[in-house]
Amino acid sequence: MIYIKPVPFLIYRKRTLDGDTAGRIRPDLMLIGIDDTDSHEGMCTTYLGALLAARLRDAGFLVTSMTLARLNPNARYKTRGNAAVCIETDAGEKGFEIACGLVGELADLSCDNTNPGVAMSESPLPSWFYKKAVTGFLTIEEAFVFLDENGAVYRGWKNKRGLIGAAAALSASFGDTTYELLAYRHHEDKGERDVDRESIFLAEKMTYPHTWDSVDPENRVVVCVPHTPDPVIYGIRGESPEWVEKAASYIISEEPFITALYRTNQGTDAHLIDARIGDMKEDRSYRTKGIVSSNPATGEGGHVSFNLLDEQGASVRCMAYEPVKGFRDIVRALIPGDIVTVCGSFKGGSINLEKIEVVSLAEKTEVHPPVCTCGKRMTSAGSGKGYKCRRCGEKSGEHGIILVERTISTGRYEVPPVARRHLSKPLVRDGLFDS
């Protein structure tokens, strides 16, 4: 095992707003957006971004920022995490050429579902395109029109679908920003990754809550090391470049071939739309408030579901699947009458829960035999005959109602790190339900 201290090689500066070049410190800088270079057999667009940054620097150009934009997690053609990247550089057309060369060299073009796109613009493009790409859907034609209207240079391969993500990367504007430090092996290495598991638990212990989701302490699982055949060795997510670097300094692993530090929209809830149940559309992600209208039921495979009803009388099924582990116990503890805000993707007519806020709890009661005037609890007098006191013989037709203590409190609950979506904001980041 080799002790690795990642060396940050990028200079950060604040991204200017929405297509606005006025505040740009270096008007000679260009943005290069890239997407759709990987397949299930390997590669990763963020790795290609890291290589591009390295090649640009080797060629004597500046790389001033690297952005990783996660797009709609329910997009149909995504390979894994629906990532697109944007590199800011002073390399101009040479940068575009180098980026296209890398895509030609490394993208898995033999895979039907790999349709790369590279686009370049002089300044950030209007952010509505990114917002639609992270919350909804766009067509390849819309990407062409958008890029043409905004004077971008672009190149697509095969059906060119990657231009949607590349355009979204050029228009990415994050209200809330997090960082990820990624360590990569060479893209031809496909074996088991050599990472010391305990060192990752230590990294989390030393830097949490400033970094998150490296491990899942409750389920004792390492989350930041993938099991897929891509080049990522590990990725550390956190609130600043300093914190992710600090966490990475504890990690003992095989020597990375390359590292990259991206600013990202991960862990920001950028995918959530506030909506009423009746207005929800398939494959978008929502935050909505309602009243629990059925007792949670545990179905086949251990998934738990309940119905949520809103003030307009619309109802939706909310699901907590087996991979969310202990979060299902929270869901099982709900009862009809509880008021909750739920967050999650709307798929197949159900909301797949990512987070829940229990706003208020209904009273839980149980029916028992009444207590007699003599103080003793009555017992059943026989089917349909009410209750009878065995001590003094008094009878009653009334039930006794007992208030039962709830096993859940008001507050916010989330799925564990092992089941968290890239875009979902962990509760530890606070402010959570307001994006």
CB neighbour list of residue 408: distance below 8 Å, 6 or more residues apart: 330, 333, 334, 358, 361
Return d(Cα 60, Cα 30) in angstroms, integer: 15
Told to check if 61 binds ligand ATP by CB under 6 A, we report no
Residue 154 is given by DSSP the state E
Instruction: Return the number of the residue (164 or 203) whose C-beta is nearest ligand ATP.
Output: 164
77 contacts ligand ATP (rule: CB under 6 A): yes
What is the enclosing helix (H) or strand (E) of 105?
Answer: helix 92-106
Measured from the CB atom, the residue of 225 and 291 that comes closer to ligand ATP is 225
Q: What's the rounded Cα separation, in Å, for the pair 240 and 211?
A: 8
Note whether 144 binds ligand ATP by CB under 6 A.
Answer: no
| 82 scored as a contact of ligand ATP (CB under 6 A) | yes
User: Applying CB under 6 A, which part among 81-89, 195-203, 218-226, 312-320 lies near ligand ATP?
Assistant: 81-89
Of residues 32, 71, 119, 324, which one binds ligand ATP by CB under 6 A?
71
Instruction: Please state the closest distance from residue 350 (CB atom) to ligand ATP, in A.
Output: 20
334: left (phi over 0), alpha (psi -120 to 50) or beta: beta
In 122-240, alpha helices (H):
128-135, 140-149, 162-170, 197-207
Distances (CA, A) of 104 to 97, 108, 118, 377: 11, 9, 11, 81
As a whole number of angstroms, the distance between CA 197 and CA 251 comes to 9
Residue 44 engages ligand ATP in binding (rule: CB under 6 A): yes
Phi and psi at residue 184, to the nearest 5°:
-120, 150
For the CB of residue 322, give the shortest distance to ligand ATP in the complex, in Å.
23
Write down the least CB distance from residue 274 to ligand ATP, Å: 19
Provide the residue count of the chain. Answer: 435
Among 65, 67, 79, 178, interactor with ligand ATP by CB under 6 A? 79
Query: Does 115 engage in binding with ligand ATP (CB under 6 A)?
Result: yes
State which residue, 78 or 287, has the beta carbon closest to ligand ATP: 78
Q: Exposure pattern of 153-191 as b/e (b: 16+ CB <10 Å)? A: ebbbbbebbbbbbbbbbbbbbbeebbbbbbbbbebeeee
Which region among 75-83, 170-178, 211-219, 310-318 touches ligand ATP (by CB under 6 A)?
Answer: 75-83
Residue 75 or 202 with smaller CB distance to ligand ATP: 75
CB atoms within 10 A of CB 296: 19
> Strand 350-360 and strand 411-414: pairing?
antiparallel
Binding of residue 81 to ligand ATP (CB under 6 A): yes
Q: Which stretch binds ligand ATP (CB under 6 A): 86-94, 132-140, 243-251, 327-335?
A: 132-140
Pairing of β 215-216 and β 221-222: antiparallel
Find the shortest distance in angstroms from Cβ 273 to ligand ATP. 13
Instruction: State in angstroms the smallest separation of the CB of 70 from ligand ATP.
Output: 8
Beta strands of 271-416 (E only): which ranges?
272-274, 284-292, 297-298, 304-309, 315-320, 339-347, 350-360, 364-368, 379-380, 387-388, 395-396, 400-404, 411-414
Residue 241 beta carbon to ligand ATP: minimum distance, rounded to whole angstroms: 22
Q: Does 68 bind ligand ATP (CB under 6 A)?
A: no
Interface with ligand ATP (CB under 6 A), residue from 6, 15, 38, 68: 38
Nearer to ligand ATP, 104 or 431 (CB): 104
CB of 145 to ligand ATP, least distance (A): 14
Contact set with ligand ATP (CB under 6 A):
35-38, 44-45, 71-72, 75, 77-83, 115, 133, 137-138, 161-162, 164-165
